[in-house]
Amino acid sequence: MSLSFLRREANQVRAITQGDLRSIMRMVDTAWRVHIRVPPVELGTKIRALPGFLAEDQAGLRGFMVMEPQHPHVALIIAAGLRDTWNVRPYLDLLLPEVERSVRAEGLPALAHIGNVAWLVDDLQARGFEIREWIVAFERHGTEPPPATAAPARLRSAHSSDLSALLTLDGLAFNHIWRKSAGNLNEALASADSFTVAELDGQLVGYTWYERYNRHAHLTRLAVHPAYQGRGIGAQLLHSAIVNALDSGVNMITLNTQETNGRSRSLYERFGFVFTRQRMPVLWKNLP
Ligand SMILES: CC(C)(COP(=O)(O)OP(=O)(O)OC[C@H]1O[C@@H](n2cnc3c(N)ncnc32)[C@H](O)[C@@H]1OP(=O)(O)O)[C@@H](O)C(=O)NCCC(=O)NCCS
């Protein structure tokens, strides 16, 4: 085997820098095995701002992994990908230890991955990741109106000045791993097809938004302030989102929730959603 062949095969692992953005985005656009857990428009900003590592050889980028720290609980793998001609095992053997070291150095006790891409899930499980919970998918078909509901709160369209109240509310309603960033919420405020907030006692107590793709709508979020739950506000928001979507010509609505979230599941079922049997794992590794 010639020396030049060995040199060409040698991989170097290093932290991602600004100058790597173009080659990573090219890989995201063209490689077979890419996992991205952020809206495409946010990807460039996230890669620039968040910690990540890449492997490269003389021909350039071989693979990368970017994580989002969620202090003080966990870091989430939000982007990963590798060159079509490389294998997942050496990719993880090289990058995962670096990623885990940097997560520990940030003072975070765990690394997590949400998704069901087989090429990543199987090999992460072989490296100490365990399934902590499942996300399940629900669908509502047809144009049957939802059951009538009480209207305890005042509903209105959200606007950009709601951002800070929404961020606080999202932090209160969701476990850290499911929280939306200010960037996510800003993006949704600017571009969601429908974003509604509920007000009561002069404060913002709930919100929901969905995106529409022709006759299909995906309900991305439904949340009520913990102090105001159990008063019918969740049902009111869900009712309004469904009516709104049906009025705009939608005939299928999808959404995801946690398998163990009995309260939201029964609410969705009462409003005509059915469990599709599609499940997605949350993989978790404690880093001692
Ligand atoms: C799910 C959620 C939006 C429901 O909002 P809510 O305002 O509490 O809902 P409602 O008061 O309209 O009640 C909805 C159902 O929950 C039940 N419920 C309400 N409070 C409850 C409580 N403390 N314990 C058990 N069940 C309760 C209601 O009886 C109702 O059930 P029904 O549909 O069979 O009548 C809210 O609990 C929440 O924000 N949870 C955290 C975020 C979340 O899980 N979002 C959805 C998943 S993405």
DSSP codes joined into one string, 3-26: HHHHHHH--EEEE--GGGHHHHHH
Number of structural domains the chain divides into? 2
Q: Where a domain ends, among 82, 109, 128?
A: 128
Exposure on the CB side of residue 134, measured as CA atoms within 13 A: 9
Q: Domain residues for 198?
A: 137-279
Distance 56 CA to ligand 1 centre (A): 49
Distance 259 CA to ligand 1 centre (A): 15
Residue 255 lies in a domain: yes
Q: Supply the pTM of this predicted model.
A: 0.86
One domain for residues 192 and 124: no
Residue 286 lies in a domain: no
Strand partners, 211: 218
Mutate to test the pocket of ligand 1, among 221, 229, 233, 240 (most ligand atoms within 8 A of CB): 229
One domain for residues 27 and 77: yes
Please determine, for residue 7, whether its predicted confidence score (pLDDT) is greater than 50: no
Q: Where a domain ends, among 99, 128, 157?
A: 128
Please determine, for residue 249, whether its predicted confidence score (pLDDT) is greater than 70: yes
- Mean of pLDDT values over 35-53: 89
One domain for residues 159 and 259: yes
> What is d(CA 252, CA 242) in angstroms, rounded to the nearest whole number?
10
Residue 9 lies in a domain: yes
Q: In the prediction, which pLDDT does 9 show? A: 55
Q: Name 1's Cβ contacts closer than 8 Å, sequence gap at least 6.
A: none
One domain for residues 117 and 7: yes
CATH number of the domain bearing residue 51: 3.40.630.30
> What is d(CA 63, CA 162) in angstroms, rounded to the nearest whole number?
39
Q: In the prediction, which pLDDT does 10 show? A: 73
> What is d(CA 34, CA 258) in angstroms, rounded to the nearest whole number?
24
Distance 270 CA to ligand 1 centre (A): 12
The lowest-confidence range among 87-101, 168-182, 200-214 is: 168-182
